[in-house]
Amino acid sequence: MKNLSCSKWQGVTASMVLVALLSACGGGGGLDLVINPTPTPAPPLKAWTGPSQFMLTQPETGSRTTQLSVATADGAVDLDGTRRNFQAAAMPDGQLAFSAGQPWQEDASKIERAMQAINGKKLFTVDYPDDKSVSLIGGGLATQATAVRDFIALCTPGKQYFLLNADARRMYSDSLAQFKNQILQAKNFTASQCSASLSVMQFDASGNVTLNSNQSGSTPEVISASQMQLLANGGHVLTADGLGKRSLMFYSMTDTAGARILIQEFVVFPNQQQNYIRIWY
């Protein structure tokens, strides 16, 4: 067989010539072979089947709420001047998939989802591929096959959004009787970490409330029935450490998915970075 040299390639395709020259001629005079893979196309946007209006609250901006619209055609919504597309679907195993753009972007190979049922309602948790960001979705009654979105909480270190279905109806102290002996749950976020640790709000038969967290070293906090009356009517009370000012807003939801109740808690500190919101569901 005739030996081939670098100067005698004939009848070979251009791409093969380039590869051979780079390998047989010492790199082709300093050229680097770069292969650009075809990028994976973004999945097509889907119609949004959740609420079309939400009320947004953010810990760092105080108790002020902003009404947001979500487009049914593609889930488009404006958060802090950034256009996002809420995309949600119920998974075959009953868990909810949810994307809201980076960093809350679905990746089937890396994402983790969980669903908890307590007080007859479903709470979905989605942990995203960056291992830092979390979303919570209030999914309606545990007996409902189709997940609703009574609220959506998005957390990434340094930014949080708490969105409550604008159809929720505000309740006051005359409605507290229906909370007696009820147990509600919430997840805790901080400004620096989306820890998503579980807390429980337990009402007794007299309307007193005990708050318990599964965070290491935490102690239960008690809110008396009279304090709950004050809170339900728009007042506030100090936290157990005397540093934070707590307010609660009570809501009910009634639609084709049934009747649900929830509470949004907002605690304000002199240092706004310590502010937090919890949605008890």
Q: List, for residues 37-67, the tens digit of each pLDDT value.
A: 666 566 689 999 999 999 999 998 877 899 9
> What is the number of structural domains in the chain?
2
Give the mean model confidence (pLDDT) for residues 255-279: 93
Mean confidence (pLDDT) of the chain: 86
For residue 46, being part of any structural domain is answered with: no
Same domain, 27 and 105: no
In which domain, by residue range, is 21 found?
1-36
Residue 31: which pLDDT band, with cuts at 50, 70 and 90?
low
Residue 196: which pLDDT band, with cuts at 50, 70 and 90?
low
Same domain, 247 and 120: yes
Same domain, 91 and 168: yes
Residue 8: which pLDDT band, with cuts at 50, 70 and 90?
very low
Burial 264-273 (b: 16+ CB within 10 A, else e): bbbbbeeeee
Same domain, 75 and 168: yes
DSSP designation for 65: -
Contact 151, 162 (CB under 8 A): yes
Q: How many CA atoms lie within 13 A of 249 on its CB side?
A: 16
What integer pLDDT is reported at residue 14 of this predicted model? 43
Least confident of 27-36, 85-94, 98-107, 214-223: 27-36
List, for residues 112-143, the tens digit of each pLDDT value.
Answer: 999 999 889 999 999 999 999 999 999 999 99
For the four alpha carbons of 107, 136, 132 and 65, in that order, the dihedral sign comes to: positive
